[in-house]
Amino acid sequence: MSNFSPQIKNFLEQVGADPTREVSVVPRSDSCASPGDVLFFRYSLGIGPGSRRERLMLITEPVTRDAATGNLLLTGFKIPDEGDYTPASLENLYKNRELPEENYRTYIMSKIYGILRKISKRPSEEDAKNQVDN
């Protein structure tokens, strides 16, 4: 976890995600994420300080290809740095779209700089109970 930014380390601690088991590198393809997944990545946005800062994103739409350019697009909400997050609160953010409209973003996947990572969802207590019962 030493190569993650303080922002990402803080987020992982808040949601109780173990970086060795619940953070995985995913391909830059349409199979990288589904709606409700959380991704983080560096994005090439110009030059200068902060231009390749890590972005933390809650995916709200399937990964699509722009018909005009052929680029794969990630669409969702940029998760604000400030905030207290839990797995349940992230689920609520996704279901209720509680993030501010100005945080809605579309990123061009070819402009992702370096590795694309996904934070795996922990099963809810109800899901875990259902798996045990079956």
Q: What is the CATH number of the domain that holds 89?
A: 2.30.30
- Read off the pTM: 0.82
In this predicted structure, what is the pLDDT of residue 130? 54
Query: Is 1 domain-assigned?
Result: no
- Total count of domains within the chain: 1
Query: Is 10 domain-assigned?
Result: yes
Residues 41 and 117 sit within 8 Å (Cβ to Cβ): yes
Strands 104-108 and 112-119: unpaired
In this predicted structure, what is the pLDDT of residue 80? 85
Q: Exposed, middle or buried, 11 (CB in 10 Å: 0-12/13-18/19+)?
A: buried
Query: Is 25 domain-assigned?
Result: yes
Mean pLDDT by 10 residues, the chain (134 residues): 81 90 92 93 80 86 91 92 84 80 91 91 57 54
Q: Which domain does 19 fall in, by range?
A: 6-133
